[in-house]
């Protein structure tokens, strides 16, 4: 693993601010996942060369790295969650054993354990710090696992061979809410405390549809997802208590959407656009319409992840052909001050001069 600390550049964005971008790691990097705690960015990813699970922290301006699991070909599809004190936990696949693994850090010590058998996990922690995981099981169905008192238990929610990706969120009572695809259909299911309630969301036209689920301030589910062809685009579904409202946020060949709510409760979606001109993009809903921008147009088909800090600024982690990249938003107008701007400010600040009305 090689760290490239000096590769930093700034791209201005008239609509959203500017992006400070840097290369975090080199080599073949896959499946990045990012989370924010305070001003620190925490990240996990799969280093495909050695087949290792890597955890990285950016606190200030420097990254520090730890190899969490190096046993065989391990660390695929990592899902990162933070507890209330910012301690990280990761669910991932050890492809050599086929085990669904769970890693958690207490202080500075990592503990690894087998959570089940499956892949493509989505991890969430409840208020007590107990892990909850959804994943594609060995039969191709959807399973849900929890650990309470140090004991893992699991149940199959969907008996199928066509369930791939799922997304998990917990409500204030710790009840799970899940979006998932079964073949070419997107579904949502929730645990009421006594039973599972499942609902059809949309036809997605892809057996590998990726979705990202969060709960709004009213507890209703919000889902970002995509289909297969450019005609499907990227979609956003919101449940109002009785029906789904569905709209398109991008008409391109959207991949890997990552939905996060900003401090104002507005949906922010980080996503990749595949095809002839691949890019990393951001879409924000202002209450009446979607606004989109390109974050990095030198992106090559891969994966991305989005987190938002307490100030509402976006932080991207994504892979390109030459390594892992991190992009953080800097608000305008204070993000990048040009020499021309400084000259104007100095001129206006000279004693005895005033601007004309």
Distance of alpha carbon 126 from alpha carbon 134, whole angstroms: 14
Q: What is the pLDDT of residue 229?
A: 60
Identify the weakest region by mean pLDDT among 143-147, 202-206, 227-231, 297-301.
Answer: 227-231
Q: Is the pLDDT of residue 55 over 70?
A: yes
* Maximum Cα interatomic distance, the chain, rounded to a whole number of Å: 79
Q: Is the pLDDT of residue 356 over 60?
A: no
Distance of alpha carbon 293 from alpha carbon 172, whole angstroms: 33
Q: Is the pLDDT of residue 5 over 60?
A: no
Q: What is the pLDDT of residue 346?
A: 34
Mean pLDDT of 120-126: 98
Q: Is the pLDDT of residue 332 over 80?
A: no
Q: What is the pLDDT of residue 231?
A: 62
pTM for this structure? 0.88
**Nearest CA among 87, 93, 110, 90 for reference residue 102:** 90
Cβ contacts of 199-206, under 8 Å, gap ≥ 24: 199/239, 199/244, 201/225, 201/237, 201/244, 201/246, 202/235, 202/237, 202/244, 202/246, 204/228, 204/232, 205/229, 205/232, 206/181, 206/232
Inter-CA distances, 51 with 3, 191, 222, 240, 343, Å = 17, 36, 34, 43, 52
pLDDT band at 277 (very low <50, low <70, confident <90, very high): confident
Q: Is the pLDDT of residue 280 over 60?
A: yes
Distance of alpha carbon 80 from alpha carbon 73, whole angstroms: 19
Residues 6+ apart with CB under 8 A from 53: 44, 45, 46, 47, 67, 68, 69, 70, 74, 75, 78, 90, 92, 103
Bridge partners, residue 33, by sequence: 44
Q: Is the pLDDT of residue 41 over 90?
A: yes
Count of CB atoms situated within 10 Å of the CB of 79: 23
Q: Is the pLDDT of residue 347 over 80?
A: no
pLDDT tens-digit readout, 196-224: 999 999 998 876 789 999 999 999 999 99
DSSP assignment of 313-338, as one string? -EEEEEEETTEEEEEEEE-TTTS---
Work out the angle at residue 156's Cα, subtended by the Cα atoms of residues 151 and 161, and round it to the nearest 5 degrees: 135
Residues 201-233, buried b or exposed e (16+ Cβ, 10 A)? bbebebeebbbbbbbeeeeebbbbbbbeeeebe
**Nearest CA among 187, 198, 272, 274 for reference residue 237:** 187
Query: Among residues of the chain, what percentage have pLDDT more than 90?
Result: 75
In the structure, how many helices (H) and strands (E) does the chain have? 1, 28
Q: 331 or 98: which carries more pLDDT confidence?
A: 98
DSSP 277: S
**Residue 134 and residue 144 in contact, taking contact as beta carbons nearer than 8 Å:** yes
pLDDT tens-digit readout, 154-185: 999 999 989 999 999 999 999 999 999 999 99
Distance of alpha carbon 309 from alpha carbon 38, whole angstroms: 7
Residue 7 tokens, joined: 């590769």
Break the chain into its structural domains and give their ranges: 8-348
If you classify domain 8-348 with CATH, what class do you get?
A: mainly beta
Residue 156 tokens, joined: 């199959």
Mean pLDDT of 46-53: 95
């Amino acid at each position: 693993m090689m760290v490239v600390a000096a590769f930093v550049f700034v791209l201005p964005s008239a609509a959203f601010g500017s992006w400070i971008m840097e290369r975090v790691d080199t080599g073949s990097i896959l499946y990045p996942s990012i989370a924010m705690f305070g001003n620190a960015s925490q990240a996990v990813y799969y280093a495909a060369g050695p087949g290792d699970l890597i955890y990285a922290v950016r606190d200030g301006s420097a990254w520090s790295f730890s190899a969490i699991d190096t046993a065989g070909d391990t660390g695929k599809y990592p899902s990162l969650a933070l507890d209330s004190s910012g301690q990280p936990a990761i669910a991932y696949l050890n492809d050599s054993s086929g085990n669904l693994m769970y890693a958690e850090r207490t202080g500075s010590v990592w503990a690894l354990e087998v959570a089940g058998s499956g892949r493509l996990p989505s991890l969430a922690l409840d208020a007590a710090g107990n892990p909850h995981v959804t994943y594609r099981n060995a039969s191709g169905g959807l399973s849900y696992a929890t650990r309470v008192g140090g004991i893992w238990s699991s149940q199959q929610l969907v008996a199928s061979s066509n369930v791939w990706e799922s997304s998990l969120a917990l409500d204030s009572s710790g009840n799970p809410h899940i979006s998932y695809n079964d073949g070419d259909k997107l579904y949502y299911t929730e645990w009421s405390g006594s039973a599972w309630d499942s609902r059809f969301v949309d036809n997605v036209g892809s057996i590998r549809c990726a979705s990202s689920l969060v709960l709004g301030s009213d507890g209703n589910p919000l889902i970002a997802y995509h289909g297969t062809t450019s005609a499907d685009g990227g979609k956003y579904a919101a449940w109002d208590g009785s029906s789904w409202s569905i709209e398109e946020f991008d008409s391109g060949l959207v991949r890997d959407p990552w939905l996060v709510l900003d401090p104002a409760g507005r949906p922010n979606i980080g996503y990749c656009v595949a095809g002839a001109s691949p890019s990393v993009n951001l879409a924000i809903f202002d209450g009446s319409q979607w606004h989109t921008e390109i974050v990095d147009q030198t992106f090559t088909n891969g994966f991305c992840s989005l987190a938002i800090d307490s100030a509402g600024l976006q932080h991207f982690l994504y892979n390109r052909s030459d390594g892992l990249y991190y992009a953080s938003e800097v608000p305008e107008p204070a993000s990048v001050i040009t020499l021309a701007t400084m000259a104007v400010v100095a001129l206006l600040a000279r004693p005895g001069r005033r601007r004309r009305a």
